Amino acid sequence: MNTARQLRDKLEHARRLMDEGEPTLADLAASVGLSASHLQRRFAERFGLSPAEYLSQRKLGTLKGALREGSDVSAALYDAGYGSPSRVYEGGAAKLGMTPARYRAGGAGEQIRWSIADTALGQALVATTERGICMIELGEDAAALEAKLHAEFPRAHLERVDAGRDEFLAPRLRAVADALAGRQAQVPVDLIGTAFQKKVWDALMKIPHGQTRSYTQIAEEIGHPRSMRAVANACANNHVAIVVPCHRVVRGDGSLGGYRWGLPMKQRVLERERVA
């Protein structure tokens, strides 16, 4: 068995051990026969997360699943491996974007304002919390756009606001419309994701207007040079595309790669930026 294959097997073994329990980094390293520092580095390169971040996200996923199924909050926290309610925030469950109780209730209590605006590339639905933009959707069917919003936040308080009549929402609508027209736009966003995803999204927002970067270049920039696939997944899970410009990430050969609204839309957005 070659060395590269042996390393992959050890990393997969480490991942399985964390799926089954909560080993310390030292125990994990000893179990797979690697030094702690080597395991930490190689695991992050392969999976896009450190072992600690992987454990945190696994626990968070367990918590989310239990809450969605209607489990009691205290029981869900315990079953997910959180020793106390306060640990849920220390361990990263703030990535729920709301308290566990609100998440279990389908977002009940969250205040979200939204509107649909005509842009150079069709209709855009923009939704905001008090912290910033939380969702952008593009399409030609206003009813379908609204249905996606309700599916994403089923029990939040959703308030439609006519464009231009809300001092918080209006400038964000204009910024999205400007971005779709190829003009530069910067607005606060409410990003909810893993630590790795946020690193990727931060890197995307640093790509100069009208330029592109490859998935490999982004992976190298955030310190995970072998995590191109994880970078692509982070782009795919970007719910505020356009203002977090995943359209500026392409394959190493210059081809477009993927895009949540299709490659023709990605091409149009890039072309408008280049001529603006």
Q: Which of 116, 126, 128 is nearest to 162 (CA)?
A: 116
Active site residue 235: no
Task: Catalytic residue, from 138, 246, 265, 269: name it.
Answer: 246
Q: Which residues are catalytic?
A: 246
